[in-house]
Amino acid sequence: MKKIAVVTLIVAILGTGLFVLLKEKKSGIKFRTEKVVKGEIEATVTATGTVNPVTTVLVGTQVSGTIKHLYADFNSSVKKGELIALIDPDRFEADVEQSRANLISAKANVEKSEALLTDAKVTMERKKELFEKGFGSKSDFDTAEANYNSARAQLGADKARVAQAAANLRSSETNLMYTKILSPVDGIVISRNVDVGQTVAATFQTPTLFTIAEDLTKMQIDSSVDEADIGKIQADQPVKFTVDAYPDITFEGKVTQIRNAPVIVQNVVTYDVVVKVDNSELKLKPGMTANISIIVANKKDVLKIPNVALRFRLPENGMGKQEQKGYGVWILDKEKPMRITVSTGISDGNYTELLSGEIKEGRELIVESLMIKPKDMGSSPIPRMR
């Protein structure tokens, strides 16, 4: 009998405890909380861009012809004035010789005209003298004078032909000089678009033979920033970025230019933001895709509220609906949820700066209800930076 009484008492105690526990779980709501902490917040604007050399020179040709020799290739280091390609010069050398012969002929014609002019002048003066003494006719004098004027005009025309032949010679020599493709800058060849034996035509537009990067130790990122964020971007703002080739390395740069020309693609407006980057280690290569974060604001030693706390909404399960205006967070006051209105500053996506509100460091904020389904929770957007 004693054993039965003891067993009955134990069962009664366990049953009472289980009932109380189940009742508490049924009637109460448990919450997960996070603390308000102090620390640093960086507000950033993210974008993507392409790594490019700061100065890129397109080397072309001003004459048409066949590529006879190539003296530079991909990744070749070249100096300013160095010969990097040669267009077959045979036709241009022949043009120079022809132009030089034309100049010699024109100069000879000038000498001939000068001699004829001298003879015509002597004849005119003799006819004039005879006419004045009455030994010659007026007709003979007029003819001699006309011959003199004609010889003088012919000399002028021949001198003009000399100038024209000299100009043609200079043009031919210039075209011959253009058959030598020289590097306009010190740099590295990043692209070669021709091969030996290929014919290039410069009739309508200058064809590009080489692309030369002047200095690969100094690069820039041409990034596209959305119009909603462009107002936050300013020159000299620090930039952090990564490239797929080195996912574990964070590179740094600085905003140097915000271009005003809009880029519109399918009604999406972006602006080109140029970021200068030091590439002393030559890890960055032209054309790499960069994922950049432009630091638009940075504050240290500020109170940081978890963004999930700002998004939390108390479920409506008998506690009554409470009107919520502005930003606010929920705390537990004597085991009961209580909402506190706050004003916020910058955000880094995970935490938001607390500007004002009755919240101190270390305060526990409700971030999640553990007894309800996610669909019963409300939501609100993360506060934007002010």
For residue 76, which amino acid is it? S
What is the secondary structure of 347-362 as a DSSP string?
E-SSEEEEEESS--TT
pLDDT of 71: 96
pLDDT tens-place values along the chain, 386 residues long:
455 554 455 655 555 444 434 444 444 578 888 999 999 999 999 999 999 999 999 999 999 999 999 999 999 999 999 999 999 999 999 999 999 999 999 999 999 999 999 999 999 999 888 888 888 888 988 999 999 999 999 999 999 999 999 999 999 999 999 999 999 999 999 999 999 999 999 877 788 999 999 989 999 999 999 999 999 999 999 999 999 999 999 999 999 999 999 999 999 999 999 999 999 999 999 999 999 999 999 999 999 999 998 898 877 654 545 556 678 899 888 888 889 999 999 998 899 999 988 888 888 898 888 764 444 444 444 444 43
pLDDT of 54: 92
All residues at 6 or more sequence positions from 65 whose CB lies less than 8 Å from its CB, including other chains: 87, 88, 91, 92, 179, 199, 200
Return the residue matching tokens 């002047």: 214
Q: Find, among 325, 355, 357, the residue nearest to 340 by Cα.
A: 357
Beta strands (DSSP E) in the chain are 31-35, 37-53, 56-60, 65-70, 77-78, 83-87, 180-182, 187-192, 199-200, 208-213, 218-226, 238-243, 246-265, 268-278, 289-306, 328-333, 336-341, 343-347, 351-356, 364-369
Cβ–Cβ under 8 Å, residues 226 and 47: yes
Supply the pTM of this predicted model.
Answer: 0.66
**CA max distance for the chain:** 184
pLDDT of 266: 93
Q: Find, among 217, 148, 209, the residue nearest to 183 by Cα.
A: 209
For residue 228, which amino acid is it? A
In this structure, the strands spanning 218-226 and 268-278 are: antiparallel
pLDDT of 316: 64
